[in-house]
Amino acid sequence: MPMIDLPNEWQHPPSEFSFAAFWFWNDRLDKDEIARQMADFQAHGVDAFVLHPRVGLPRDMGWMSDNLLDMMRFAIEEAQRRGMWVILYDEGMYPSGSSSGQVVAEDASYQCRGMVRINVDAVQPNSNDQGVQIGADGQPILGEYQTLVAEVEHQGTHYAIVQRPIESVIRGLHYINEDSDEPPEDEPAAIDLLNPDAVACFVRLVYQRFYDEFGEHFGKTVKAIFTDEPMLLGRPKERDIMPATPGILKSINTYLGYDFTSKLAALWDDDCPQDIFNEFERAVEHQLEQTYYAQLHDWCAAHNIDLTGHPSEADATRHLRYFDIPGQDIVWRWLLPDTPSALEGRQSTQGKAASSMMLHMGRRRNANEFCGAFGHEFTFDEMQWLANWLLVRGCNLLIPHAFYYSVRGPRLHERPPDVGPNSAWWDDGFKPLADACRRLSWLNTDSELVCHVAILGSHHHLPWRAAKDCFQHQIDFNYLDVDDLSRCEVRDGALHIAGQTYRVLVIDGPLDEDIRQQVEALGLPVVTWSDDVGDSIEELRAHLPASDLPQVDAPGLRVRHVRKAGHDWYVLFNEEKAPIDVPFAFNGAWLVAAETGEAHAYDGRLTLAGHERIVLVR
């Protein structure tokens, strides 16, 4: 068989597909040291970074200060000189939106707000309940920036619902006292993300300032701005608070199309009906989309820069629509090899959620920040596993968390580990991983995904049961959001959206009646997932076109098939620890090494060690 002719971009993938290291700027900065670290990144296969000011910076280098911006400018210009690229980070720590307390400092009415429920029947006059003074008539005495949302009778009790500023913060950039193992940090005030004026202030203080300082590099060396898990309640120091803003009830009623007032008090009950909470969540998060994500997206579109980052929840699909590079975040050991978490629960929907949204929204890239806060016990095998877990699900921009500028003192223990220059594997294994991920990110970009199954899902409700079963039977799929049903077209018995073609739609779980009617109107084959996995898989396969990919009994095997540069490529990843060794006849295939780009003859047997990944091409 003649040697396969592989494209030059496989052999030498461009820097655009590099890891983008989450680079903690967490100590006194020095330009020579910044340049030295950047050279070290490149020597290990990393040509990009997210420039992330982090706790540990000295106080004379505050958020958006001239000193900090000068260091950013140096790093950007050094990146330009070296052929590297940069993503700017939009906050002085996180969660995003507050400009390290500067928004609230500019206008106190922009402080983070919440609703509290007051049992008017139980409180005493002149007392304080939930931060609200009660008068002699038993009614709330509202202070500055406080408003009465509603008075309601609920389960025989009279409640007043009041919205007011709450005590909520974000993490700060400076230690208060470094001389302890766990020093306290500054805690800047969080903002009301549901207030469009507050968010506009944030955009002006951060995004516009970035443009004023570095606009000549936008769309060139500076590819994107990263917004990090904006949270409606920030990091609250109070309990029993619901997200709010002035006029919140009117906004909820307008979105839902009916008066929600009678249901409002139920939100605080331990046994609040799920449908009530879901409706409230949908309405509030819709407002967040309009006030926060849409503002950032529109500003970025007008200034030749991509918006990236990730929402605060792994399955927040509605918010991903506003990202030019939709992203997610694997953190806190919530996803681990050889545990149920790899295939079960909300976190397991990561990867597929962002890559599906990328395809259906016509984006080129999707991102994942990964390895964050996995602890000092984190291993290189786990890092490789996480990277392959993402790549086989379609991720094509990997953001390893984190490369530490400094590990001096308490910095070493701040959301560890360092997975880059201060790791045990930096000089023994990192570059082959970086090179492999670069090639596979290239492969996952601008390619045709061969995938005939769509699993119907929605914001915060991505089914993982059917997904797990498909993964374990080597049936690839994408999540199709219910909001995208109206954009779908059925032709020749298949569903088409944004260049993707699906032969069958999988329903896993109950549907609202209006969604069910939309699905039925499509006239597409539908498989309703059942507890009998074998029957569901058999029914699903009956609707799929014939494949020349051998079927094997290997629940740990994941398969991704794409077409690019005139070839069919198959990424095969053993997600489990148990080895796979089975006949796998595949005529005309070559085994290519993602680490080196080299091609080798394939002998027709699939042999994968635990957690090993290979690529076949023909």
Domain CATH code at residue 40: 3.20.20.80
Q: Identify whether residues 473 and 428 lie together within a single domain.
A: no
Summary count for the chain: helices (H), strands (E): 16, 32
Query: Which tens digits make up the pLDDT trace of 550-585?
Result: 889 999 999 999 999 999 999 999 999 999 999 988
CB contact burial 471-491 (16+ within 10 A = b; e otherwise): bbbbbbbbbbbbebbeebeee
Q: Identify whether residues 331 and 419 lie together within a single domain.
A: yes
Residue 143 has pLDDT above 90, yes or no: no
**CATH number of the domain where residue 470 is located:** 3.40.50
Residue 154 has pLDDT above 70, yes or no: yes
Q: Identify whether residues 436 and 493 lie together within a single domain.
A: no
Question: Per the structure block, which two tokens stand in for 318?
Answer: 């509605």
Q: How many domains does the structure of the chain reveal?
A: 3
Which residue, 542, 569, 601, sits at the end of a domain? 542
Residue 24 is predicted with a pLDDT of 98
- 243 within domain boundaries: no
CA atoms lying within 13 Å on the CB side of residue 449: 31
Q: Identify whether residues 436 and 453 lie together within a single domain.
A: no
Query: Which tens digits make up the pLDDT trace of 312-324?
Result: 999 999 999 999 9
Do 396 and 441 meet the contact criterion of CB atoms below 8 Å apart?
Answer: yes
Query: Which tens digits make up the pLDDT trace of 57-70?
Result: 999 999 999 999 99
- Which helix (H) or strand (E) covers residue 391, if one does? helix 380-391
Interior angle at CA 274, CA 237 and CA 519, nearest 5:
125
Which residue, 422, 443, 464, sits at the end of a domain? 443
Q: Identify whether residues 486 and 355 lie together within a single domain.
A: no
123 band by pLDDT with thresholds 50, 70 and 90: confident
Question: 408-422, 471-485, 509-523: which has the minimum mean pLDDT?
Answer: 509-523
Query: Which tens digits make up the pLDDT trace of 342-400?
Result: 999 999 999 999 999 999 999 999 999 999 999 999 999 999 999 999 999 999 999 99
Residue 1 is predicted with a pLDDT of 54
Phi, psi of 206 (to 5 degrees): -115, -65
Do 457 and 434 meet the contact criterion of CB atoms below 8 Å apart?
Answer: no
- 153 within domain boundaries: no
Q: Identify whether residues 433 and 509 lie together within a single domain.
A: no
% of the chain exceeding 90 in pLDDT: 91
- 565 within domain boundaries: yes
Residue 131 is predicted with a pLDDT of 82
Which residue, 397, 424, 443, sits at the end of a domain? 443
All residues at 6 or more sequence positions from 330 whose CB lies less than 8 Å from its CB, including other chains: 347, 350, 368, 369, 370, 371, 372, 386, 390
User: What is the pLDDT of the chain when averaged over all its residues?
Assistant: 95
Q: Tell me the average pLDDT across 504-512.
A: 95
**CATH number of the domain where residue 582 is located:** 2.60.40.1180
Residue 125 has pLDDT above 90, yes or no: no
All residues at 6 or more sequence positions from 31 whose CB lies less than 8 Å from its CB, including other chains: 71, 74
Residue 577 is predicted with a pLDDT of 97
Residue 2 is predicted with a pLDDT of 67
Q: Identify whether residues 276 and 374 lie together within a single domain.
A: yes
Does residue 110 or residue 139 have the better pLDDT?
110
Q: Identify whether residues 530 and 583 lie together within a single domain.
A: no
Q: Tell me the average pLDDT across 443-460.
A: 97
- 137 within domain boundaries: no
All residues at 6 or more sequence positions from 22 whose CB lies less than 8 Å from its CB, including other chains: 49, 50, 52, 369, 372, 399, 400, 401, 402, 403
Question: Per the structure block, which two tokens stand in for 27?
Answer: 């100590």
Q: For residue 436, what are the domain limits?
A: 18-103+195-233+269-443
Q: Tell me the average pLDDT across 278-282.
A: 95
Residue 99 has pLDDT above 80, yes or no: yes
Q: Identify whether residues 307 and 423 lie together within a single domain.
A: yes
- 109 within domain boundaries: no
Q: Identify whether residues 452 and 439 lie together within a single domain.
A: no
- 135 within domain boundaries: no
Question: Per the structure block, which two tokens stand in for 282?
Answer: 């949908």
- 246 within domain boundaries: no
- 275 within domain boundaries: yes
Q: Identify whether residues 313 and 413 lie together within a single domain.
A: yes
Query: Which tens digits make up the pLDDT trace of 222-279?
Result: 999 999 999 999 999 999 999 999 999 999 999 999 999 999 999 999 999 999 999 9
Residue 89 has pLDDT above 90, yes or no: yes
Q: Identify whether residues 537 and 611 lie together within a single domain.
A: no
Q: How far apart are CA 223 and CA 217, in angstroms?
A: 8
